[in-house]
Amino acid sequence: MPKAMLKINQLDAYYSGSRIISELNLTANKGAVTALIGRNGVGKSTTLKSVMGLVKTPRGKIFLDGLDIIKMSTYDRVKLGIGYVPQGRDIFPQMTVFENLTLPLVAQGRKRVAPEYIFDLFPILPQFAKRWGGDLSGGQQQQLAIARALVTEPKILILDEPTEGIQPSIIQDIGAAIRKINKEKGITVFFVEQYLDFVLEHSDALYIMEKGEILLKGNTKELEHSKIQKILS
């Protein structure tokens, strides 16, 4: 049996009184790339925000590597090994690339020294270190956001729509980077997407969500594409 890096059990999530996620069960296995796909507004971001402790989750449990984290602060969850790339990337436009990149280290009271492999993964970062975050293209900002989530050396990298608003050639680079992070660094990956081709190419396991519930799940290679498309259309 593969071991779970992230396990979500019977989880409900709310925004100011309205339930967005109902009795959600989802597992991201250690060493695998797991994806969650669904149309706009079904609750994908809310699922990730639940994992990060950014929304109300009065019922259910979330385990990180066997440890129940549901009552922990976002800060503690990051410290325990979750790297989070939010939707829209949230790069600070008036900080330099270097400052953006090393911000999580400062938050943890650590030196501003990023692991060297991150610069091999994204060579534009050392090259553009002194530029303003806001001067980067969408694709470059996404690379910076992924790199920023990696500086604390997480056990699991969580990405919210990494291809959103990015030109096709850079989407390929992002996909390749995710694979490298997973295969070469052994980091478990869990990402959310709307773009089916990207999910089919870059995930091992797949969950398909509709209105806060999982309608279909399985190994990406074994799932029938027509069934997925039907839910997404």
Ligand X SMILES: Nc1ncnc2c1ncn2[C@@H]1O[C@H](COP(=O)(O)OP(=O)(O)O)[C@@H](O)[C@H]1O
- Binding residues for ligand X, rule: CB under 6 A, are 15-16, 20, 38, 40-46
Segment near Mg ion (CB under 5 A), from 21-29, 42-50, 67-75, 196-204? 42-50
Q: Which one of Mg ion, ligand X, none interacts with residue 100, CB within 5 to 8 A by kind?
A: none
Beta carbons of 21 and 47 less than 8 angstroms apart: yes
The span from the CA of 166 to the CA of 174, in Å, is 10
By beta-carbon proximity to Mg ion, the closer residue of 83 and 162 is 162
Determine, following the binding rule CB under 5 A, whether residue 46 of this chain makes contact with Mg ion. Answer: no
228's CB contacts (< 8 A; 6+ apart) are 37, 196, 206, 208, 216
**Residue 46 contacts which entry, ligand X, Mg ion, none (Cβ below 5-8 A, type-dependent):** ligand X
Closest to ligand X by CB, 108 vs 229, is 229
Under 8 Å between Cβ of 200 and 193: no
Residues near 218 by Cβ (< 8 Å), separated by ≥ 6? 205, 206
> Exactly one of 34, 45, 142, 163 binds Mg ion (CB under 5 A); which one?
45
Alpha helices in 159-223 (DSSP H): 168-183, 196-202
CB nearer ligand X, residue 98 or residue 207 = 207
59 forms beta bridges with 12
- Residue 48 Cβ vs Mg ion, minimum distance, rounded to whole Å: 8
Write out the binding residues for Mg ion, residues 73-92 only, by CB under 5 A.
87
Residues near Mg ion, by CB under 5 A: 44-45, 87
